[in-house]
Amino acid sequence: MEKINAVITGVGGYVPDYILTNEEISRMVDTNDEWIMTRIGVKERHILNEEGLGTSYMARKAAKQLMQRTGSNPDDIDLVIVATTTPDYHFPSTASILCDKLGLKHAFAFDLQAACSGFLYLLETGANFIRSGRYKKIILVGGDKMSSMVDYTERATCPIFGDGAAAVMMEPTTEDVGVMDAILRTDGKGLPFLHMKAGGSVCPPSYFTVDNHMHFLYQEGRTVFKYAVSNMSDACVAIAERNNLTKDNIDWIIPHQANLRIIDAVAHRLEVPREKVMINIERYGNTSAGTLPLCLWDFEDKLKKGDNLIFTAFGAGFTWGAVYVKWGYDGKKQ
């Protein structure tokens, strides 16, 4: 019997219309374009600023485009998984809202939370559902409305983040393409350095937590930067060695878009030139679980069947890893 693997068969994406520029941020906090570009590498970020819209809105836009591009029938979708740290509600899941909005009748759905590593974890999770033989068409969405947890009076963090979502279709294949290998890790050491203090069961919302700005993202930038560079690099080197991938036969590195200096450091460690690295942080900022699939959405037309891709990310927790994907089709924007 032929071995079943999971392959990505299409991509869809969405970023909100409103663009928050560095110039506008420099009117909110004491910063400027030069500082932001030098330290982070972000020029602008898209912000979902309409009242009453959350992550599911962007996820729906991305998934709708994906279904149109792949000509998918809603009745054929077996499973929807959404990676997000900014769900519409504590419950129900954002994935369940998506099922309703997309008119899916035969799918089950759940959210996955691994912060900025969310989509990386999705690739391996979705692939294993396909490999089980029970599921034929899976929608994987990575998306976050980071503006909902950013303190726009905090100059160190507010320029980093943006909002956006992208989705991929995953299906079975017996060809030598798809999700080939994964190295995923979580060490739990990240809590003190990257978290949101209030809103969970340890520290429920109260007047005190709101008054004391405890519902915003807290990040100790230096520590996170150091861990991100070493762990992403180590995971990429390990997966490359395990699969006989070198700077010559790696076609694309797809790194989490948190900081341009982290991206450059990882590429340098793999000795891969910048033109083989997917970079769009300048236009979107860090959209957390949205960054990796948004890179695919942006660069899809440059991808060719059989291309060797290494995805890598690092997120709160700490969570990190690398996934090796052999691309399954010649990407031409529909």
pLDDT digits (tens, 9 = 90+) for 192-239: 999 999 999 999 999 999 999 999 999 999 999 999 999 999 999 999
Domain membership flag for residue 308: yes
For residue 111, what are its two tokens? Answer: 């959210």
Same domain, 130 and 192: no
Confidence (pLDDT) at 297 = 98
Same domain, 188 and 170: no
Same domain, 311 and 186: yes
Per cent of the chain over pLDDT 70 is 99
Whether the upstream peptide bond of residue 311 has omega within 30° of 0, thus cis, is no
Domain membership flag for residue 334: no
pLDDT band at 316 (very low <50, low <70, confident <90, very high): very high
Q: For the full predicted model, state whether its pTM sits above 0.95.
A: yes
Same domain, 236 and 319: yes
Domain membership flag for residue 242: yes
Confidence (pLDDT) at 332 = 74
Same domain, 8 and 117: yes
- pLDDT over 90 at 2, yes or no: no
Q: In CATH, what number is assigned to the domain containing residue 316?
A: 3.40.47.10
Domain membership flag for residue 331: no
Same domain, 276 and 234: yes
Mean pLDDT of 162-171: 99
46, 231, 256, 295: the active-site residue? 256
231 is catalytic: no
Which residues fall within 8 angstroms of residue 96, CB to CB, at 6 or more apart? Answer: 109, 110
Same domain, 166 and 233: no
Domain membership flag for residue 330: no
256 is catalytic: yes
Phi, psi angles (nearest 5°) of residue 272: -100, 130
Same domain, 209 and 125: no
Please report, to the nearest 10 degrees, the dihedral formed by the alpha carbons of residues 298, 261, 265, 142 taken in order.
-40
158, 286, 295, 308: the active-site residue? 286
Total domains present in the chain? 2
99, 116, 236, 295: the active-site residue? 116
pLDDT digits (tens, 9 = 90+) for 248-257: 999 999 999 9
pLDDT band at 31 (very low <50, low <70, confident <90, very high): very high
Other Cβ atoms closer than 10 A to 203: 14
- pLDDT over 60 at 14, yes or no: yes
Mean pLDDT of 161-181: 98
Same domain, 117 and 241: no
Same domain, 92 and 121: yes
pLDDT band at 56 (very low <50, low <70, confident <90, very high): very high
Q: Which of 175, 203, 223 finishes a domain?
A: 175
Phi, psi angles (nearest 5°) of residue 249: -110, 5
Which residues fall within 8 angstroms of residue 21, CB to CB, at 6 or more apart? Answer: 43, 44
| Helix segments in the chain, DSSP class H | 22-28, 33-39, 55-70, 94-102, 118-131, 207-211, 221-242, 260-270, 281-284, 291-299
Q: Which of 132, 156, 175 finishes a domain?
A: 175
Same domain, 231 and 204: yes
Domain membership flag for residue 8: yes
Residue 145's domain comprises 3-175
Domain membership flag for residue 332: no
Q: Which of 155, 175, 195 finishes a domain?
A: 175
Same domain, 93 and 50: yes
- pLDDT over 50 at 334, yes or no: no
Domain membership flag for residue 230: yes
From CA 60, how far away is CA 275, in angstroms rounded?
A: 31
Tokens 């590498």 belong to 41
